[in-house]
C-alpha cells in the first residue's frame, strides 16, 4: 500500500469501517512509514485533546427561556 492509498482509506480506517485484511495492510504500512505513523498519532492526539477540553454549558437564561416555552406551549 502507498501513502496516497492509505490517505484515501484513512477516514474509513479511523472509523473502524474497513474489513480486517485492509486494516492489516494499513497497520503494516504504518509500521514502516514514519510520516503516515506521525499522521495517525497526531490525529489520535488531536481527538484526545478535543475530548478532554471543557464542554460548553447552555446558559441559565437560555435554559429558563426554553423551560418557559415548554410550559406555555406544550401542555
Partner 1 sequence: MTEAPSPARQALEAALREEGDRLYGLALRVTRNPDMAADAVHDGFAAAIEKIDDFRGDSALSTWLYRIVFRKAIDLLRKRSREEPLSDEDAEAGRPDEAPGRGSAWSRPPDEILFDRESTEALEQALSTPPAVQRAAFELREVEQRPTDEVAEILNLPPATVRVYLHRARLKLRAALGPHFREAASS
- Summarize as ranges the residues that interact with partner 1 (CB under 8 A): 3-4, 6-8, 10-12, 14-15, 17, 33, 35-36, 38-39, 41-43, 45-53, 55-59, 61-63, 65-67, 69-71, 73-75
The sign of the CA dihedral 20, 9, 40, 54 is: negative
To the nearest whole angstrom, how small is the minimum distance from the Cβ of residue 29 to partner 1? 10
Q: Which of 53, 49, 27, 59 is nearest to 40 (CA)?
A: 27
To the nearest whole angstrom, how small is the minimum distance from the Cβ of residue 58 to partner 1? 4
Round to whole Å and give the CA distance between 43 and 9. 14
Amino acid at each position: 500500500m502507498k501513502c496516497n492509498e492509505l490517505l484515501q482509506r484513512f477516514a474509513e480506517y479511523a472509523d473502524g469501517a474497513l474489513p480486517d485484511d485492509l486494516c492489516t495492510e494499513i497497520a503494516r504500512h504504518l509500521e514502516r512509514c514514519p510520516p503516515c505513523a506521525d499522521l495517525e498519532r497526531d490525529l489520535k492526539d488531536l481527538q484526545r485533546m478535543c475530548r478532554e477540553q471543557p464542554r460548553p454549558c447552555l446558559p441559565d437564561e437560555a435554559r429558563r427561556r426554553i423551560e418557559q416555552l415548554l410550559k406555555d406551549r406544550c401542555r
